[in-house]
Structure 1
Amino acid sequence: MKITAIETLQWAEYPRLMIVRVHTDEGIIGLGETVDKIPGAKGALHGTIAPLVLGQDPLDIEGLWQFVMDNIMYHGYAGAETRALSAFEIALWDIMGKKYNIPLYHLLGGKTRDKIPTYNTCIGFGAYQDYQAWHDDAGALAKSLLADGISAMKIWPFDQYSEESFGQYITHPQIEAGLEPIKKIRDAVGLEMEIGVEFHFRWNRVSMERIARALEPYNILFLEDVLPAVHPDEIKLLGQRTTIPIVGSELLMTRWQMREWMEKHVAPIYMTDPVWNGGIAETRKMAYMAETFGVPLVLHNVAGPICHAVCMHLGAHIPNLFYVESVRAFYKSYFSVLSELEVVVENGRLNLPIGPGLGVTLNPEILQRPDLTRQLSEGPGLANGRRSMGDHWAVEEIR
C-alpha cells in the first residue's frame, strides 16, 4: 500500500478545525484532524510533511513518524509542524484499522474500560451557549449539564481579570467576582457536580496562590494550566501551597517536553492533546510514562468528531486515565453536520465509537458545501523511500 495524496478540508463555519484525508492506492482513506492556528499547520502539512510521506507505506506508522520528526526537529518541532504531524499520524491509524477491519482500541492492545469518564468544558456554539450560560447563571447551567448526564464541568471565571495587570496582581474584589459562578454551582446542585477551574496560564504564582486559597472551601476537582508550562518549578511550588490538584499541560508537546515535568514531579495530574502532541502513538507513550510515575492523565479534547473519537479509543485503552475533556456545545451541534459519529453521555461517561479504525465517517454532503476550502498534495513525493535524513545537506530537496 502507498500514500497517493494528502488532502485538507476546512469550512468557513468552523474556522478552528482542519480535517485531513490521507489517500492510498488501495482506495482506503484515513481521517485525521487538528485544531487552532490552522494556517501554520496547513502550511507545514502540505509544504514540509507531504513531500516526505507521499509514495510511502501508510502502515509503517512508527517509521514515518520518526522520519518526519527527524526532519522537523531540525528547526524546532513543538508548533505547527507537530500539529500537522499529529493529524497525519492519526489518519494512518485510521487506515490501518480500516485495512484490517478492527477498531483503533484493538490496534492499541484492547480496552481497560468500556465507558469514558468526561468533564464538560463550557464553551458555546450554536444552540448550546454554555460559555455565556456560566457567566449568566452557572447554577442553572450545572442543572442543565446534570440533566444531560454530565457530572463534571470546567469554567475559567478568573481569566478576565488578568488583562489589566498582565496577570501580575489580582484584587480581593476580583477574586470575589471570580468566585460567584463557583458559589452558584454549589448553591444550585451541591456536590453533585465536580468543578474544574481553568486558568489558561494567565497568572503568576503569587496571584495563583491567592486564588487557590479562595477556592479551597469549594471542593474543586482541579486547577488547570495555572502558569505557563515553561515554569515547572513555580508550578510545583504552587502545588505545594494548595490542596487542590494541579493539571498540566496541554502545552507540552511530545514525551520529551513532558519528561522534565515527570522527573521533577511538577503536577499530580498530566494532560495532553493527541491532535497537537504528535498523535496517537505519542499520546500512548506519554500515558505509559505517566503511569510509570504513578500519575493519571487527562486527554484534552476541544476540536471535532475525529479528535473526539481518538480520545475515546485512547481513553478506553489507557489504564491511568483521569478524564477525557469534551464539549457538549460541539458534539450536540456540528459533529452531526460533519460526520455520522454519535456521542452518548450517561452517568458522566461517554460511549465508544463503533466501526473499524476511528469509527468516523464523514457525511458526503459536507464535501459539496460552498464554504469548503480544499487543498491537495499528490504525486510520488521526494523521499524516494528514505526513512532517515542522514546528511541534511545531501538531500536539499527535502531538507
Structure 2
Amino acid sequence: MPSVIAEIEAISLRIPLKADLPGAALWGEPLEAADALLVKVTTSDGVVGWGEAFGLYGTGLAAHALNELITPLCLGRDAGDIAALMEQVQRRLHVFGRGGAITYALSAVDIALWDIAGKLAGVPVAELLSEGHRARALPCYASLACYTEPQRVRAVVRRVVDDGFGAIKLHESGLPAMRAAREEAGPAIALIVDAGCAWSLPQVQALAADLHALDLTFLEEPLWPPENFDGLAKLRRRTGLPVSSGENVGTVMEFERLLDSGAVDFVQPSPAKMGGITELRKVFPLAGTHGVPVMTHSFYDGPGLLAAIQVAAALGGADAMIEWRWFDQLTSIYGDALAPMNGRIIVPQGPGLGLDPDPDAVRAYRF
C-alpha cells in the first residue's frame, strides 16, 4: 500500500525582531516581527514533512487557501506521486488564478512532500534531484529589510559585514541609502539592490549612471509592473545594467517568456511562491538553454529556504548564491543548526530537507 496524505496542518508563526536596530520596514510598513506560514504534512504511516508558503503580511490568505481549497484535494492521495498530484490540484484550482496565495499554499504542500520523499529514501532532497550529489557549502548574501535613512543603512551594513558576509542585498529605492551602503561596505563587498518595482523605464534610465557607480552585482525588479519583461529587456540593452527578476513569476511558461525576451542577467524563481520544488527544478534547465544563471529567491527562513538550498546545491551552477533573510530575529526555528559562516552556508545532509523545525520554537511563536 502506498503512503497516503493523512493530515495537513497550517502553522502560523510570528517571531519578533531584536530591538537594537530600529527602523526596519518593508514596503513602507514598520517591521517589528517576521510572520511565516509553515505547513506540516503527515502520512498514513506517520512520516512528517514540512513546507512553507510565502506570506509576510498575507499568511492568513495562504492559510485560508490551504484549508479551504487545497487540503480537501490532497487528503487520501498518494504522498509519493508528487508531480501528478500537484498538476491535478493546479488544474482543479486554475480558475482562481495561477499565482498568489493559492499557489503559495500549494508550494508549501509540495515542499513538504519532497521532504517526506527524502525521508523515506533516507537521503537529502539534493540527492533525489541529482544522483551523486556531494555535500558542499554555498555562498549566500545577507538580504536586508528597508532602512531608508543613510545612517541606519550604514549601521546594518556594518553589522552584516562584521558577521562575515561578502555580499549584501538592499531593499531600497533611494540613492542616498544605496550610496551609504556602498561607502560603508567598501568596494570588495558584492552589492545587490532590490528596488521593489519602484520605477518606470524612463525613471531608471535617468538613474543609470548613478546605479553604475554603485558597481551592483545586479539590480532586482527595477520596473513597475513586474511583468514588464519587454521593459526589462530594453533597460538592459540601453543601460548595460545587470538586471534580475523572477520572484513574482508564477509559472514555468512565464519563466520561458521572461527568458525568451532577454529581460534578465539572473533569473530568480521562488520555491515558496511558484509551486515548490516540483516547479522550481524545471527552471534550471530552461535557464541553462539561455545561458542565464539561476539565483533562487528565498526571502523566508523556514522550509522554503531549505528547499532553495537543496535545489541550488543539486542543480545550480558556480554562480548560484543563497538569499539569507537577515532580519536579526529573536530566534530561528532551526536554532544554530542552520547559520551562515563567513558568508557561506553548509547544505544540510539529513534526509529530506535536512532539518526539522525546533518544536519548542514553533510552540513559543505560534500565532
TM-score tier, shorter chain, comes to 0.7 to 0.9
Taking the aligned partners of 1:2 and 1:151, their CA distance within structure 2 comes to 44
Under a length normalisation based on structure 1, what TM-score does the superposition of the two structures give? 0.80
Residue 44 of structure 1: which of 65, 84, 98 is its match?
65
* Distance change >3 Å, CA 112–CA 195, structure 1 → 2: farther
Residue 83 of structure 1: which of 104, 108, 126 is its match?
104
Correspondence 1:107 to 2:101: no
Q: Partner of 2:46 in structure 1?
A: 27
SS in 2 for 1:296: coil
Taking the aligned partners of 1:202 and 1:35, their CA distance within structure 2 comes to 21
Correspondence 1:214 to 2:210: yes
Aligned-pair distance for 1:188? 3.6
SS in 2 for 1:74: helix
Number of residue pairs aligned between Structure 1 and Structure 2: 343
SS in 1 for 2:273: coil
Q: Partner of 1:323 in structure 2?
A: 321
Whether the 8 Å CA contact 2:294–2:320 is kept in 1: the answer is: yes
SS in 2 for 1:195: strand
Whether the 8 Å CA contact 2:266–2:292 is kept in 1: the answer is: yes
Taking the aligned partners of 1:341 and 1:285, their CA distance within structure 2 comes to 31
Correspondence 1:117 to 2:132: no
Q: Partner of 1:383 in structure 2?
A: none
* Distance change >3 Å, CA 199–CA 113, structure 1 → 2: farther
Q: How does 1:256-267 map to 2 (within 5 A)?
A: 256-267=253-264
Whether the 8 Å CA contact 1:302–1:325 is kept in 2: the answer is: yes
One-letter identity of the residue aligned with 2:65: A
Aligned-pair distance for 1:213? 2.1
Q: Partner of 2:157 in structure 1?
A: 142
- C-alpha offsets along residues 307-346 of structure 1, whole Å, 9 cap, x if unaligned? 221111112112335322112325x6431xx234622323
Aligned-pair distance for 1:42? 1.3
Whether the 8 Å CA contact 1:209–1:238 is kept in 2: the answer is: yes
Question: What are structure 2's unaligned runs of at least 5 residues?
Answer: 16-32
Whether the 8 Å CA contact 2:13–2:35 is kept in 1: the answer is: no
Aligned-pair distance for 1:353? 1.5
Taking the aligned partners of 1:21 and 1:183, their CA distance within structure 2 comes to 43
SS in 2 for 1:30: strand
* Distance change >3 Å, CA 202–CA 185, structure 1 → 2: closer
Whether the 8 Å CA contact 2:123–2:349 is kept in 1: the answer is: no
Runs in 1 of length 4+ with deviation above 6 angstroms?
none
Q: Partner of 2:349 in structure 1?
A: 354
Question: What are structure 1's unaligned runs of at least 5 residues?
Answer: 124-130, 159-177, 374-399
Taking the aligned partners of 1:319 and 1:78, their CA distance within structure 2 comes to 24
Whether the 8 Å CA contact 1:341–1:359 is kept in 2: the answer is: no
One-letter identity of the residue aligned with 1:270: V
SS in 2 for 1:7: strand
SS in 2 for 1:81: helix
Aligned-pair distance for 1:185? 3.6
Whether the 8 Å CA contact 2:250–2:273 is kept in 1: the answer is: yes
Whether the 8 Å CA contact 2:182–2:191 is kept in 1: the answer is: no
Whether the 8 Å CA contact 1:287–1:297 is kept in 2: the answer is: yes
Taking the aligned partners of 2:258 and 2:134, their CA distance within structure 1 comes to 26
Task: Report 1 or 2 for greater relative contact order, CA contacts < 8 Å, sequence distance ≥ 6.
Answer: 1
